[in-house]
Amino acid sequence: MKSLTNKRILLGVSGSISAYKAPDIIRRLQDLGADVRVVLTSGGSKFITELSLQSISKNKVHYNLWDKEAELSMGHIELAKWADCILIAPASANIISNIASGKANDLLSSIVLASDAILMIAPAMNQQMYKASFLQNNLTLLKTNGASIITPDSGVQACGDIGLGRLPESSDIANQVADQFQTTQLSGKRVLISLGATVEAIDPVRFISNYSSGKMGMALVNTCIEMGAQVTCVYGNINTSLNYKATNIQALSAEQMYESILSQAHQYDLFIACAAVCDYAVKNPYEQKIKKNGENLTLELVPNKDILADVCKLEQKPLCIGFAAETQNTLKNAQLKLKNKSCEAIILNDVSTPEIGFNSDENQVVFISQKQQKNIAKNSKIKIAKNILEIFINEFL
């Protein structure tokens, strides 16, 4: 079954009578797991209402480039960054011409120019318009620049003509969108990923842990699966959904995570240590709940085993990517970690910044290896994961 789980699809609805199909396209994308937002052009609004699209998508519909409220936060730029894929369906001859010409005279064309997301265009128009050399030249130019064109269906059109130009079935469009995220870059590879926070017991009701949500690790899990890998996910305390296509193993404490990972790491091609493992555990956890008596309480902490370092020492070791969550001297500390752990790469994450720290939906990292140091700009964690893996694959696989 195809999937768009955790994918952000920006649907552009332009001026074609096929715009009436937009709500069903939204439904079919949602059925595959996508989060859908809609940009409605002025032409599109002649055929479908903002309210109907908002009701189905469960998100605000965007239509005005000059919306003062939205542009206070650079709304069109935020939408451009938000999207994993921009799908224009239906795409009129006018919007195709605007995008091919590099115009930014409305919200949708401005978003396309400002985004590095996958661009998919589903033309829908009169069969003679579709055959016109000007239109075909524009489509060829768009394909040359990386856009994917969804071929229209042939049949009886609203005007009574017969020929190519009908918008394909909504389910076909959704499936073609899902196909854009399936690659073979990790085909045949086995990947082991740790994620989330470990939990170190103090007594039966209290524990030591950290703010990690597991979102960055799960983005890596999802991306590795999309790239064709067989993935095992060893997770601690998380605030995100598991991917059922992975083999999921819960390991709440650092000791449990250590045993789970070290017992099987030699079977994998790549190990990504994304979990926020507590450096220390309580030496002697209390068997019963500690009762407050007004006196100070002293806990003796002992260091936990170093999972990444010990995996890197295995005789039959996988390639290893570690994460360095730092708050000060970030680059120096990450470079030192790369050297001390003897792993192939370290991903530096400055968690002192709230919007890219623990439990956020976005991140901004630095990929560090012996050969390179590459900044990955702030973006959604799924896009960050894709960038990390593409850089790593290019250098090591």
| Residues involved in catalysis | 159
The reported pTM is 0.80
**Three-state secondary structure along the chain?**
CCCCCCCEEEEEECCCHHHHHHHHHHHHHHHCCCEEEEEECCCHHHCCCHHHHHHHHCCCEECCCCCHHHHCCCHHHHHHHHCCEEEEEEECHHHHHHHHCCCCCCHHHHHHHHCCCEEEEEECCCHHHHHCHHHHHHHHHHHHCCCEECCCEEEECCCCCEEEEECCCHHHHHHHHHHCCCCCCCCCCEEEEEECECCEEEECCEEECCCCCCHHHHHHHHHHHHCCCEEEEEECECCCCCCCCCEEEECCCHHHHHHHHHCCHHHCCEEEECCECCCEEECCCCCCCCCCCCCCCCCCEEECCCHHHHHHCCCCCCEEEEEEEECCCHHHHHHHHHHHHCCCEEEEEECCCHHHCCCCCEEEEEEEECCCEEEEEEEEHHHHHHHHHHHHHHHHC
User: pLDDT (tens digit, 0 to 9) for every residue of the chain, 397 residues total?
Assistant: 678 887 899 999 999 999 999 999 999 999 999 999 999 999 999 999 999 999 999 999 998 877 655 544 446 788 898 999 999 999 999 999 999 999 999 999 999 999 999 999 999 999 999 999 999 999 999 999 999 999 999 988 878 888 899 999 999 999 999 999 888 899 999 999 999 999 999 999 999 999 999 999 999 999 999 999 999 999 999 999 999 889 999 999 999 999 999 999 999 999 999 999 999 999 999 999 999 998 999 999 999 999 999 999 999 999 999 999 999 999 999 999 999 999 999 999 998 887 887 888 899 999 999 999 999 999 889 899 999 999 999 999 9
